[in-house]
Amino acid sequence: MSDPLVTFRNVQKRFGDFVAVRDMTLDIQPGEFLAIMGSSGCGKTTTLRMLAGLEQPTRGEIRIAGRLMNDVKPHDRDTPLVWQSLALFPFLTARENVEFGLKMRGVDKAERKRRALEWLDRMHIGEFADRSVDTLSGGQKQRVALARSLVMEPQMLLLDEPLSALDANLVIRMQGVLTQLQKELGITFVYVTHSQSEAFAMADRVVIMSQGDIAQIGTPKDIYRAPANRFVAEFVGRNNILTGTVKEASSETTRLATPAGTFMVETPETEPQTGTKRSFVVSADLVSLSLEEPTAANRVHAKVISEEFIGSVVTLFLESGDGQEFKVQMQERQLMNYDLHAGSQVWLSWETENAHMLDGD
């Protein structure tokens, strides 16, 4: 692997007594699409603002391409940011907005205009070049904001929840535009969002933050299938989390006794101690449902409580005899094979390899 483009080493950021980022160590590789995800106040935007130089770290080091950046002023960096509010200059036209950064860098007028128009064309909004940005639609403004940052030809683009103001259809379109752009340009995107679907749809790697700490770093698949801890498992949602006592652990599998029954779980890298309390997750879409008792090692008898449709995907909410809740996700047409209603008794089962043990209880 090549040298990282960005390194955070034990970075802390405090605002008075409030710790926004606690002790962050993170590498960002050149050319990767990294999403930083978390709920509001988790420190994700502060992290991004530190990269742009809009906040100085209280402690620790931030390096970009090897250069220590802690005290470098925002305008001496090459880290254009696409703002949540877009922050387009309302008194300028679309083209003048795109030219702004070049003007600040002292690029001459003709060259500025040429490059701005080139980027506006590339974003398919060339025809609006001389319109005031106030008159543009949400999607068009978004494209102006992207062009304004990318015309600087940066090696890294920062994006702070850029799609949060758009309606659902436009978000999907812009996700396509962004991933396409990132591939074509081959530069690093650091994308801050609270939206799991945006992060998982676009990013190569996802950083999940919670209360100023990194909860997990990994590919979307890692995080989805193998959440590191209870926070991530709950944050990602659609997970069944069961807690119990370790009865027996081998290098392959661990047997865990929970109130809902005894289940086999894949043993993590460090073997759990017998007698300790541990939790594991099974993703809702990896739980099978049957009317007859299955032969699988992990099975539980449960009662249907309710169902929820989102498009063609349906989530069933169930409860086992002891009160443990379960979620099962499947396609609607699969569900039609069963004749279910609230109160129906069914069997749930899953493969041991799909049961993933969490760190801590």
Secondary structure of the chain as H, E, C letters: CCCCCEEEEEEEEEECCEEEEEEEEEEECCCCEEEEECCCCCCHHHHHHHHHCCCCCCEEEEEECCEECCCCCHHHCCCCEECCCCCCCCCCEHHHHHHHHHHHCCCCHHHHHHHHHHHHHHCCCHHHCCCEHHHCCHHHHHHHHHHHHHCCCCCEEEEECCCCCCCHHHHHHHHHHHHHHHHHHCCEEEEEECCHHHHHHHCCEEEEEECCEEEEEECHHHHHHCCCEHHHHHHHCCEEEEEEEEEEECCCEEEEEECCEEEEEECCCCCCCCCCEEEEEEEHHHCEEECCCCCCCEEEEEEEEEEEEECCEEEEEEEECCCCEEEEEEEHHHHCCCCCCCCCEEEEEECHHHCEECECC
| 192 near other proteins, judged by CB under 8 A | no
Window 3 to 62, contacts with other proteins (CB under 8 A):
52-54, 56, 58
Report the residue from 68, 87, 257, 336 that binds other proteins according to the rule CB under 8 A.
87
| 75 near other proteins, judged by CB under 8 A | yes
Of residues 45 and 324, the one with the C-beta less far from other proteins:
45
Of residues 33 and 100, the one with the C-beta less far from other proteins:
100
| 71 near other proteins, judged by CB under 8 A | yes
Report the residue from 73, 110, 275, 306 that binds other proteins according to the rule CB under 8 A.
73
| 345 near other proteins, judged by CB under 8 A | no
Q: How far is the CB of 91 from other proteins (least distance, A)?
A: 5
Of residues 54 and 177, the one with the C-beta less far from other proteins:
54
N-to-C CA span, the chain: 34
Of residues 105 and 109, the one with the C-beta less far from other proteins:
105
| 262 near other proteins, judged by CB under 8 A | no
Q: How far is the CB of 162 from other proteins (least distance, A)?
A: 12
Q: How far is the CB of 86 from other proteins (least distance, A)?
A: 8
| 227 near other proteins, judged by CB under 8 A | no
| 189 near other proteins, judged by CB under 8 A | no
Q: How far is the CB of 254 from other proteins (least distance, A)?
A: 48
Stretch that binds other proteins, among 75-83, 283-291, 321-329, 335-343 (CB under 8 A): 75-83
Q: How far is the CB of 157 from other proteins (least distance, A)?
A: 11
Q: How far is the CB of 143 from other proteins (least distance, A)?
A: 16
Of residues 194 and 301, the one with the C-beta less far from other proteins:
194
Window 102 to 161, contacts with other proteins (CB under 8 A):
103-105, 148-149, 152
Give the Cα separation of 192 and 331 in Å (integer).
31
Q: Are 128 and 136 in contact (CB under 8 A)?
A: yes
Interface with other proteins (CB under 8 A): 52-54, 56, 58, 71, 73-75, 79-81, 83-85, 87, 89-92, 100-101, 103-105, 148-149, 152
